[in-house]
Each structure stands twice: as structure tokens, then as C-alpha cells.
Amino acid sequence: MIYLGIPPNHSCSWRPELAQWVLREGADGRTTVPIRETPFVIGRAADCQLVLPNSPELAKTTSRWHCHITRKDDGCLLADGSLKPAPETGKVKPSISGTLLNGKRLAQPAPLRGGDVIGVGPWVFEVRAAEEKRVDIDDILRTINTQPSRAMDARSSRGFAQLHELFRRLSRVHDAQEGLFDVLDYALSKIAPAVVAAVLEEGPEGGLAVRAACHRDAGRLLDLRFSSGLVQGLPADRSILLAPSGRSATASQVEAQISSGLVVPLRGLEQRLGLLYMDNRTRGGSFSEDDLHLAQALASVAALQLSLEKQAFFSRLAQNMRGYFGPEVVSLIVEASRAGRPLGLGVRGCEATVLFADLQGFSAFCRGRSPQQVSELLNPFYRVVSERIQEHGGHVDKFLGDGVMGVFGAQPVQSASTSRESHAVQAARCGLAIAAAWGGASLSQGDLRLPVRVGLNTGAVVAGNIGFAGRMEYGVIGDAVNLASRMEKLARPNAVAFTDSTRGLIGAKLPCEDGGLREVQGFGQVRVWRMGA
């Protein structure tokens, strides 16, 4: 395994749900990146393993897929350009400014060794080999035996024992909400002045909401009125220990008879997730420095609960979305969710290119065949078509018996580069890729081969969550969808047919032929264009 040393004044953060590193300014992250698995792609695109900063200025020197590292025998090779064909050209692309290895432009793949320097646009990464470190256990034991023994402070010992008790309780909890209540119950049992304890969670648009709250005598609280005066303007990394003082009490403190309180930030995922809040309403007494120290330890435990919950949510979100959208769109969806930005799931009108891929002769094929035989044909077909749709920047809208519907240009989150022209070109290239992949490897059952037909149309659609409260689905509907379905019926075997609207956006980028005017049910005379076969 090798490591990449990060340029000065930069660091990397790890996104476990997408299995990728993100480079950014600042030194609060990792300064080395391990390359455990290959291929390892470096570039501005959201599906790279090392994602570089993106801006119009950086786009002049750094490509979306600038270079990649692959494994060969016992070493690694560095190569310039994209690993896979770019969606807009269908070909592997070299980087815009070249990749430098030890100051020289890389002309062909070259082996990487410790001490090498890789230049990618304005950034320079140092290759570091993994070092084997030998440990002499006898030498360590001799060193320990020469040190004077020190007794553990009694309060520290009690604190460790108390936290151990809490961790044992949490290890039996499988729900984050129950874990938060366990932390609050524990706080009330160990911090004598506390009458109320609560976890206040940061909302997506700012502000705080009660996530969990407990009262020493009443148990779990459904409605908690906390002192806004205690938390208003609290710095993101600052704790508050409120001492009893009637002169500085806020109106809400007086109303709830609060004379002393504790507020500790819950920090995780490089941000403030909320606050651990305690007060002594109606009880008297005041919190001590020791109470603050224990509260800070408990806040770390609560923050860990919230962090793990969010990470699990983002991982599930990414996993679920990968079945429908390509890596770049999945990354944008996760980033929008992480930042609290609403996804474009509401119903809206937009222009998109719709693709239908269908197996010719499927109904005849099914007669007299078992469900197992049918699934052995359909499952590989679904996989081939779905993978090509995602590779070319579209998303799988639905499976329709022996057909697959894909959409280009109507994802819930769009990249800045998406345009009318590009989604039509991406869909056309995708149609050709489907025909080539399935036509070259379609299954045979006796003498029967089932070719694929692909239809495209570009036009206005209605996109968004469609259904009812018990069953919602992100999809697109409209006349443009219906016409794309009709085009599929007019395509030749293992080829693509499309309308004038799609042809106008493709232009001269792809060769096609005029199929003439055809009568299309529900649409009258429609000019048909064809590609492939």
C-alpha cells in the first residue's frame, strides 16, 4: 500500500458513505491518504476516489477525471486522464493540462515509488511508501519498569468506572433515540443539581429543537420549554456553566425558577450538532466544575450517537440512490442532504430526454417457459441497461415488464454542467451503448434471440414525487414520455430511434439517418431518426 502526502495548507476528509476522500483548504483533516484499493481516480468529478476542489478557474487546469492509479503485480501505476469513457464523448479523455510525475509530463502509464511527486493542476502530491515498523517488546518493558509508579486520582478512577457503566448500557441499545435517553437518564443520576436534562438538536435551517428530554421525577418529557436565554448566541465550541445570580437571570429563567444550568455543545462531523442542556428548576443548588467536566464527557457520548445516526442515514441514502442514479448525482444528493438543502423532489416541470429500452419478441419468448427461465433473461437485461443509463448521466425511472425507462436531465439534483444539449447527447450515446452491449451478448434460448430496441424523445415532462402518502415514487410523466415509448416500437433490432426534438439537440455530434414520416398513435405524423444497426 502507498500513501499520498497532501499539499501544504490542505487536508482531506473521508466520506465513508461514498468511499472517497475530499481535498480542501485548512489543516483540520488528514494530511496523508492511504490508497488501499484501486483503481484510484483523482479529479474534480463527484465520483472520484480523491475529489479535488471545483470552480470555473480550477476547471481551466484540472479535469473532472484528471488521472488514475491502478495496481500491477506488486506495485502501482499512474496514468493520465479518465479511467472510463466520458459521458459526452463516449471516449477516454486525457486531462486538460497533463499529469506530471517528478516534474515531467506523463506520456504513458508509469510505476509509482516512494518519494515520487505527482502534479495535478495546481496541486502536488508526494508518494509515500508504507513503512514496516518493528517493535521490541522487551525494550518497552524495561522502559516501563524504570519509571516511577503514579497512583490514579480517585475522582478520575470513579469517572472511568461511571462511563464504563454507561457504555455497557449503550452497547445493548440498537436505536439512537434510546441511546440519547440513556445518556440523559445517566446524567440525572450522576449530576445532583440537574432536574431537567435534554439534547437540543440543530435544525437544517438553524435554530434548535428538542430531540430528547427527561425530568428527574417525571421521566421522559414530551414538551420541554428550555431557557432560550441560556443558549442564544452560544459559540459553537463553548460550554456554559451558569452560576446562581438573580441579577443576571433572564425572564424565562425566572418563570421556570432556574438559578443554575449547564450547556455543553455536541460536536461531530466537523460541526455543532446540538447542545446538551441541564438546569436545576425548582430545586435550588448549583452546578460545579466537576459537574461541567462530567457533562462534557457525556456530551461527547451524545454527539457520537448523533454522528453515527447521521452517518448511517447518509450511507443508506447513498446505497438506495445508487440503484437509480449515477455516482455524480448520488454524491450531489448526499451533499445536499448533509448541508440541509432540500432536494428537488417536489413536482415541477422541466425539459428532459426520455429513453425506453425494450426486448423485441418477449411475449412469444415467455409462452411455455418457466419463471426461472424468464428471470434468467430479464435480470441480465435490466443490469446491462441500468448500468449504461447511469454511466451516461441518466437515472433509471422504472422497470416495465421487459422494458426499462431512463431519464436524462430530470434528476432531483443537477450538476452545474447539465444542459439541454448534453442530456440529449448523453441519452443518444447511452442508447447506442445499450444496443452494442446487449446485441453483442444477448442470451439465446434455442434458436430464439431477443434483440433490444431503444427509443428517445426530448420534451417537457412533469418530474417529482408522484403517488400518495403510503406509496411515493420519484418519476416523470407527460406526452414526451409517451412519445419516447412510441419511438422504441419504431426502432430497428439492436438500434435506436428518436424524434426531431432530440435530433435538433444532437446536431452533428452523432451520425444518424432520416427514417421519414411515420404515423404515431396519439401524435399523428412524426419524423423518425435512426442510429445503429
Tell me the pLDDT tens digit for each residue of 196-208. 888 888 766 566 7
* Region 259-269 average pLDDT: 79
Domains of the chain: 2-129 (2.60.200.20), 155-313 (3.30.450.40), 344-531 (3.30.70.1230)
Task: Report whether 469 contacts 480 (CB < 8 A).
Answer: no
Residue 163 and residue 14: Cα distance in Å, rounded? 28
Please report the pLDDT score of residue 529 as a whole number. Answer: 93
pLDDT top residue among 402 and 145: 402
What per-residue confidence (pLDDT) applies to 236? Answer: 63
Quote the mean pLDDT of the chain. 79
Strands (E), 320-402: 348-359, 395-400
pLDDT score of 498: 95
Quote the DSSP letter at residue 59: G
- Residue 221: which pLDDT band, with cuts at 50, 70 and 90? confident
Candidates 455, 390, 461; CA nearest to 420 is 461
Query: What's the pLDDT band for 264 if we cut at 50, 70, 90?
Result: confident
Backbone angles phi, psi at 189, to 5 degrees: -80, -20
CB 343 within 8 A of CB 333: yes
Confidence at residue 19, expressed as pLDDT on a 0 to 100 scale: 79
Question: Count of CB atoms within 10 A of residue 184's CB?
Answer: 26
Confidence of residue 415 (pLDDT cuts 50, 70, 90): low
Task: Quote the pLDDT of residue 246.
Answer: 43
- At residue 129, the pLDDT reads 75
Amino acid at 204: P
Give the dihedral sign, CA 386/392/396/397: negative
Q: Is the dihedral of CA 440, 443, 444, 448 positive or negative?
A: negative
Region 90-99: mean pLDDT is 92
- CA atoms within a 13 Å half-sphere pointing along the CA-CB vector of 198: 22
